[in-house]
Amino acid sequence: MADAARLFDEWAAALARGERAHAPDFIRRAGDAADDLASMMDRFLRERPRRDADPAAVDLARAWMAGQAPLVELRARHDVTRDDVVAAVMNTFGLAPEKRQIVKRYYHRLEAGELDPARLAPPLLELLGRLLHAPASAIAAWRSRPLDVAPAFRAVPVAAADADVLRASPVAREPVEDDEEVRALFISER
């Protein structure tokens, strides 16, 4: 029972700090005391006063459930354009004008769910929170829903002559310009 009480205290303290304490992780750690810990957690949640839901978090959840990008939804609700966000990032971090397209591409990738918001540099996360009128912690927590896709191709044997043609004609791609300073804002090692 002592182990369950210690884990309960740890879990409740994490909740009080506003962290997302994942109950099943704590219950797994409790081992033989898992049922006792689950009962304590259940009693705590039933008796705990409920706070009003954060409107920004509700907006993000609704957008996510509808399959929309939460950041796009927040931006649209507050009449903030993507260019407004890019301009704010450029100004706040004193980036050179030639980095504008790079910032725009990274922000687009963030909204599209290709970048993890939890990896944003803290100053960028705070800036986005101010621009989008949402807590930085809410922005960091939400990701776009993964696409539910199945393979859309099938393997077809290639004749030897066709294989030579395929090997001889590689697809040329434009090199994508990148910048270490911009990358560090959007993909932070923290």
Distance CA 78, CA 147 (A): 26
Burial class of residue 93 in the structure, from the number of CB atoms within 10 Å of its CB (0-12 exposed, 13-18 middle, 19+ buried)? middle
Distance CA 117, CA 102 (A): 17
pLDDT at 3: 87
Q: Where are the alpha helices (DSSP H) in 17-96?
A: 23-29, 34-47, 55-65, 70-77, 82-92
pLDDT at 104: 96
Contact residues for 74 (Cβ-Cβ < 8 A; gap 6+)? 56, 59, 60, 63, 132, 133, 134, 139
pLDDT at 164: 53
pLDDT at 80: 95
Q: Which residues of the chain have a pLDDT value below 70?
A: 1-2, 56-57, 59-60, 143-176, 190
pLDDT at 45: 87
- Is 89 in contact with 103 (CB distance < 8 Å)? yes
Distances (CA, A) of 161 to 157, 164, 166, 167, 168: 12, 5, 9, 10, 11
User: Tell me: the pLDDT tens digits for 46-96?
Assistant: 888 777 777 766 766 777 777 777 888 888 888 999 999 999 999 999 999
Can you give the C-alpha Rg of the chain in angstroms? 23
pLDDT at 65: 78
- Is 179 in contact with 118 (CB distance < 8 Å)? no
